[in-house]
Structure 1
Amino acid sequence: MGASAVTSFALARLLGPESFGMLNYSTALTAIFFALASFGLENPTILRLVRGGNPASVLGTAMAIRLVTSSVCLIAGCGIVWLLEGAFNTVFWLNVAQLACMSFYVLSSAEFWFKSRTEPLIPAAMRSSAVAVSSLGKIGMAVASVPLVWFGIPVLLEAAIMSLGVYWAYRWKAPRDERALTFDRGQVPGMLKDAYPFVIAAFSVLIYMKIDAVMLGKMAGHHENGIYGVSQKLTEILYIVPVVLTDTIYPTLIGKRTQGKKEFARLFQLFVDGAVVISLVAIVCSILLARPAIMLVFGEEYAASVDIFHINAWACLLVTLSYVRARWLAIEGLQKYESWATAIGAVTNILLNLVMIPRWGAIGAAWASLLSYAVAGVLTSFLLPGTRAVGMHQIRALWPFGRLAAAVRTHYLSKVTP
């Protein structure tokens, strides 16, 4: 469990549903603007650096683009928060503080230089240090009952430590001729063209994953959002299961694909079957433990989170199916369809939230998320061209009884046939 998850659990207990709901709402809303501000520049920038582009020019241009997009998103974000929440209240200042972090994250583009050289240690150390300082600050402020409006300070401090640390590490590690960053106008059109698919994908993912918290906070109130947020954080722990499992088997799947489609299909079906079984075991165990765990860790005021978690937990199965499909698409060279699936899921989530949240509050948001995961992770396999084969793998894993009956029938006939 990461430091961020531990911090979230501690804050939920210390602050209570109302204040924790405000933080959850603010974080979800600003995350959407961050996706736009980053503008999908990471992969195009790293690719140019790996291919031998001048780091001073490539990084300088990437930072300049990010400065413009961050400034636009900062102004637009503050304006939208003003319209949604009014001016100069607690929620307004929490959002403004988190949006202001964009100014620091422009410098964190220096991290791309380390990634292009496969030297992740320094950026990881800076990020861990920043998160640790921010987490201790938030927990200390919660223990001291500091007004919630001041919780934006640790967030700004985290951004400053991370961004300035990575930037000065780049200045220290890079050769002298690469330190003076320059802006190359000629690279801008190419970088924007290459970044466009990534920003659309990132924005779709953030809408897909965060819009429920934004809409719930606005339509049902921050107390309801706080109850939902605890369930959501617990559910995210379950998502570790498909990530670890899939990343472990992925190299083997790539090797089997070179041996022919038939052998690959057989192995992939076994892989999907196993992933589904493991996910189901994790879901059932977590549901059985949910009530005592939530009562022990968070207290009676979060009792309503139990019923929400019983719905959210099943998303682990759908996330698993979506994650293994993404690997299948990568192996087959069809990654573009994953962005379409995510965009469809995001739109579905918004529409379902509009219908379900006013009627059922956090329970409605949980059902909306679960159904949108089913649409994005499984149904789109049959809607999008070129993905129906993996869709059949998913259905066979979800409904294995037909294959089991066929296997029993074949075994029986082999015994009675002379």
Structure 2
Amino acid sequence: MTRTEGGSIPQADDTQPTAKPRGGSARSMTITLVGNFFPAAIALATGPILAQSLGVEGRGQVAAATAPLGLAIALMTFGVPEAVSYAVARHPRLVRTAARNGFLLIILAGLLATAAVLSARGWLSGGELEIQHLMVVASLAVMPTLLLGVLRGIASGLQQWSMVAWEKVLASGLRLLVLLPLWLTGHLTPFTAVVVLAAMPVMGAIAYLWLPRRLPPPEADTEKVASTKAITGYGMRLWIGTISGVLLSRVDQTLITPLSSAYQLGLYVVAVNVSEIPLIIHRSVRDVTFVTDAHRSEDAKLAASARISTLICTVVALGLGLTMGWWLPILFGEEFAPAVPIAALLLVAVVLSTPGSIAGAGLSARGRPGLRSIALVIACVVNVGLLVVLVSEYGALGAAWATVLGYLLSSALNQFFLKRLFGVSMLSFYGLRRSDLGILRRYAAGIGRVLRLRRRR
């Protein structure tokens, strides 16, 4: 048995009980893909509803109120959900110990996160009282959302991908079901929109009601690999990168209002909605890759995941980029037409970040989350500096350029660290191999067989 970076959580060897993939990586990927697709589809449906009902200014107010919520949830986890997932993936029989310690730590984090949002609302709102009031409402969802993250970490570590997918389907589906009647009856205001956007994700916890029945037999934590100290140690090393990663992807939405205006944020949010469509597939690949590589590390599989994910993201991004000048103003309203070039830049950022994101998942899965964190910290510092310089001058377009450069730097550093420590060639993450096409063909054939069997039933 070897020790991970920092010596907190031992690496499992072949004698350790590890989580068994349920139905193989292809099945896991498909379930995760469905789980990620549904929220994105709902976001694409609710985006025009919010945009056309609230207008650019109102949509900007809602985004300004909820952006600190998302930022606080991601920043103040201290890496606990990911650490729980990692510990459970390595040692499934210690899931009860990991869960108990994870929940204890996340409650403390939730109290700090709520206080942070309330304390910073004056500055983050740009001095607008209405936005400050909306931030108070959104802050009430911080604690339950953080607790939900630990449940998701447990389910992911046990490779219960169906539960994780159902959580996302329930949360996003309920959001649409509540927003629709509010919109049709004329009651969709910035206040009601904030309540729905903040509260509905928590409802996804219903998906984990049956999780206790799926837990493996317990085992004494004789090596303290799921202790509070071990979870905190791994989580804190990962958390540094999480902070930077979240700042890299979300701080732009938090800073645009104080640096520019709510109008610019309204345009930017719509552009983000469009650019996140290619991420549906990439996040599915990344999430499954993290757990499967933690279970058994294989360089060839890691590189193939990066290449295939990049290929599909590129195809989807090109399709969106070449057509959105036509459909985006129709879908969201003519006043959002200036969001088209912003969305185009963000699509470029998504494609550039894909190989490095998979490399970062590989670093974390192999017990070196600190290196992924270093890459994200460096990229974050560059990104924030660019935001301060570019947003005040160019608004949302400047924020998009800052995102492109930050993502590119983070991606390159993750791949560099993976090569230095584990000898994985950076070039292996790019291009297209015949074996990749074979993987895609086998995957498509497997999905086809499943669909034919279901039809016969």
Q: What TM-score bracket applies, with the shorter chain setting the length?
A: 0.7 to 0.9
Correspondence 1:18-417 to 2 at 5 A: 18-49=57-88, 50-53=91-94, 55=96, 57-85=97-125, 89-105=129-145, 107-108=147-148, 109-122=150-163, 124-143=165-184, 144-163=186-205, 165=206, 169=210, 173=213, 187-240=227-280, 242=282, 272=307, 281-326=315-360, 336-378=370-412, 386=420, 390-391=425-426
1 CA distance for matches of 2:418 and 2:159?
A: 35
Q: Are the counterparts in 2 of residues 381 and 391 from structure 1 also a CA contact under 8 Å? A: yes
Cα offset for 1:78? Answer: 0.5
Alpha-carbon distance change, 377 to 141 in structure 1, aligned in 2, over 3 angstroms: same
Q: Are the counterparts in 2 of residues 13 and 299 from structure 1 also a CA contact under 8 Å? A: yes
Q: Secondary structure at the match of 1:237?
A: coil
2 CA distance for matches of 1:227 and 1:106?
A: 29
Q: Secondary structure at the match of 2:276?
A: helix
Alpha-carbon distance change, 249 to 90 in structure 1, aligned in 2, over 3 angstroms: closer
Alpha-carbon distance change, 245 to 111 in structure 1, aligned in 2, over 3 angstroms: closer
Q: Are the counterparts in 2 of residues 133 and 154 from structure 1 also a CA contact under 8 Å? A: no
2 CA distance for matches of 1:331 and 1:270?
A: 14
Alpha-carbon distance change, 20 to 47 in structure 1, aligned in 2, over 3 angstroms: same
Cα offset for 1:243? Answer: 5.3
Q: Secondary structure at the match of 2:76?
A: helix
Q: Are the counterparts in 1 of residues 271 and 343 from structure 2 also a CA contact under 8 Å? A: yes
Q: Which runs of 5+ in 1 are unaligned?
A: 179-183, 399-418
2 CA distance for matches of 1:16 and 1:195?
A: 40
Q: Secondary structure at the match of 1:386?
A: helix
Residues 235-293 of structure 1, C-alpha deviations (whole Å, 9 max, x = no match):
11133465578899999x99xx97xx9xx69x969985x87666555444333212101
Q: Are the counterparts in 2 of residues 130 and 157 from structure 1 also a CA contact under 8 Å? A: no
Cα offset for 1:110? Answer: 4.2
Aligned length: 379
2 CA distance for matches of 1:380 and 1:118?
A: 25
More helix by share: 1
- Normalised by the length of structure 2, the TM-score is 0.69
Greater mean alpha carbon deviation, residues 124-133 or residues 105-114: 105-114
Q: Which runs of 5+ in 2 are unaligned?
A: 1-36, 219-223, 433-457
Q: Are the counterparts in 2 of residues 104 and 159 from structure 1 also a CA contact under 8 Å? A: no
Greater mean alpha carbon deviation, residues 33-42 or residues 3-12: 3-12
Cα offset for 1:319? Answer: 1.9
- Normalised by the length of structure 1, the TM-score is 0.75
- Greater radius of gyration (CA): 1
Give 1:308's aligned amino acid: I
Alpha-carbon distance change, 198 to 333 in structure 1, aligned in 2, over 3 angstroms: closer
Cα offset for 1:300? Answer: 1.0
What corresponds to 2:47 in structure 1?
8
Give the RMSD, CA atoms, in angstroms: 4.2
2 CA distance for matches of 1:5 and 1:270?
A: 26
Give 2:174's aligned amino acid: V
